[in-house]
Homo-oligomer: A and B are copies of this chain.
Amino acid sequence: MDAYLKQRAELIASERALRPGHARIQQASEAELKAEQIVRKIRADEAHSIWHSENPDFRALFREASKEQMAEPNDDSARTTADEWGVEHPEVVNLFPGMAFLTARKIIENTKLYKIVQKMPKGGILHSHLDSTVDVDFALSLAVKQPGMHISVPEPVTANNVESILPQFRQMASSFKADATDVSHAAYAAETWVPYAAARQSFSSSLGGPAGFDAWVRSTMKIDPNEAYTKYNSHRKMWDKLRNTFYVSNGLLRSIPIFTQYIKEYFWASIADGISYVEPRVNFLFKAMWSAEGEQNVTHREFVALFGRIIDEVKAELKEQGREGEFVGAKIIYTTIKIITPEEMEWYFDECIALKQEFPQLIAGFDLVGPEDFVKPLKYYAEGLLRFRKRIDDLGLDLPFILHAGETLGDGDEVDDNLYDAILLDTKRIGHGFSLVKHPLLMDTCKKRGIPLEICPISNELLRLTSSMPAHPMPMLIAHGIEVVVSNDDPGAFGNLGLSYDFFQVLVASEVTGLLGVGVIARRSLEASMLEADRKAKALASWDARWAEFVDWINKEYGHLLDK
């Protein structure tokens, strides 16, 4: 039996040794080991006291949380029901760690573990789509205050269509005179532009007045639990919903005065969550953006320059506050959408090279985006991408491909096959790679070349690739030695702002991955970033210092939990 137990322990240890960051974890300091123990204890305690369905105390908490979530300011309409929460029978909701995010969100926020994760230095966000990175309420508050921001709808908003009708935004010239103020008035003429603030103010009281207006517009830009878990509970339908949120936000964010404040908010909110770098994907499909004067004449060149200025402003402000170490900066991953022809794609290749030449520090790489299951496969653009690659290399530019691939449940179909193309096209990271676990040879390549996967746990769950975190392939990837980073994808629409929610879901879904495990993943995000070597070194040094402080804080704050 002793021989058996020895062999067993060795086998387990040999498998654990394959995990990324194993060496780092083996060298943990005493303080780190103690913090690890504390976090494991809290996790185990809360698995029982909070995440166990039979726990009656929890039920009260859940009902309380539901009420809070459901209560919109001044919103007494029929939509504040348990249905809205996706919880048909709150008394039988099944709780477990890593469960459906939108149902669990308020519960997560009430855990000690979440409070710890919030304090963790997160490293960088390497996978987010800039158009959906900021709290929707914040974005709408900008719209209210923005002179010239208008909306239109395809028909008057009524009680019958309020759950499905989508507004569009547009920045108009100051000279523009609207024909109407009320999109909920029967006389509203389809698709006419109405000042946003006025439309809000005059929204029919039968639809809830201004609060009802806010609830309606918000619902078109965010995913609610009823949509995710009942109404649109499939990958295809959730993508339709997510696309709708982009359809709505597009006109709002393409307004440069709005986008400027929005990006600043993205940086500040990220910093508040312990994030020190962001590398968002920016959608450049529209060849120009709208000025404050409502002209579509702001070029991508001007936008990138503006993005750089915002970084400088935020960094200057941090420096003033003595918080320089908290933010190393941001870079743009240039993207367009896989709905255009290879011929149309050439314009974007040219522009991307030109922008990289003019703003070498601001352009991190190139990607093609869109819901993989419903757009063209990478193969469709492969010939162009190969020529593009050669041009980039001939010019000596540091402009890697950072491609989306494998964000699918398919097995051996055209979409799943995108992984072959991403790797053959020498992608430096893989956006998602959810289906990589079905590709042993590609997994080997990722290991050998150190290609990290940008995993977006909550995004995958809300887009119904997985029903919950315990069923997510992330633990398989880690077990097989694939490098991963954790990201949030479209937190504006999903509600997983920052990285704390995603890291929380990762931390509760595995007994192997503890505090040091998520620390390795967080640090890896800086290593895997497209930061220049010197800035990367600086960012890592700063992360290491903050990590040490964080570990000390855990020991000081929760050390007593180990006493009993």
Contact = CB atoms under 8 A, between A and B. Distances in A.
A475 B411 contact: yes
A237 interface: yes
B11 A411 contact: no
Top 7 A-B residue pairs of the complex, sorted by shortest distance between their CB atoms: A412-B512, A94-B234, A467-B467, A409-B470, A411-B510, A412-B511, A411-B475
Interface stretch (A58-66, A413-421, A542-550): A413-421
Given A1-B382, A96-B236, A424 B7 contact: yes
A106 B341 CA distance: 42
A479 B235 CA distance: 23
Interface in A3-52: 4, 7-8, 11-12, 14-15, 18
Contacts of A473: 437, 476
Contact of A12 (B231, B417, B479): B417
A221 interface: no
A342 to B, nearest CB: 11
Given A15-B439, A411-B510, A412-B511, 6 more contacts: A1-B382, A1-B383, A94-B236, A411-B475, A440-B481, A464-B467
A191 interface: no
A481 B232 CA distance: 35
A40 to B, nearest CB: 12
Nearest to A464: B467
Nearest to A7: B424
Nearest to A438: B479
A467 B235 CA distance: 12
A471 interface: yes
Contact of A440 (B15, B94, B382): B15
A513 B442 CA distance: 19
Interface of A: 1, 4, 7-8, 11-12, 14-15, 18, 53, 88-89, 92, 94-96, 99, 230-237, 379, 382-383, 386, 409-413, 416-417, 420-421, 424, 437-442, 464-467, 470-471, 473, 475-476, 479-481, 509-513
A475 B440 CA distance: 12
A94 B241 CA distance: 14
Contact of A412 (B14, B467, B510): B510
A367 B15 CA distance: 26
6 contacts: A11-B442, A12-B420, A88-B230, A89-B231, A410-B511, A412-B513
A8 B383 CA distance: 13
A12 B511 CA distance: 34
A464 B467 CA distance: 9
B1 A96 contact: no
Contact of A512 (B99, B235, B411, B440): B411
Contacts of A89: 230-231
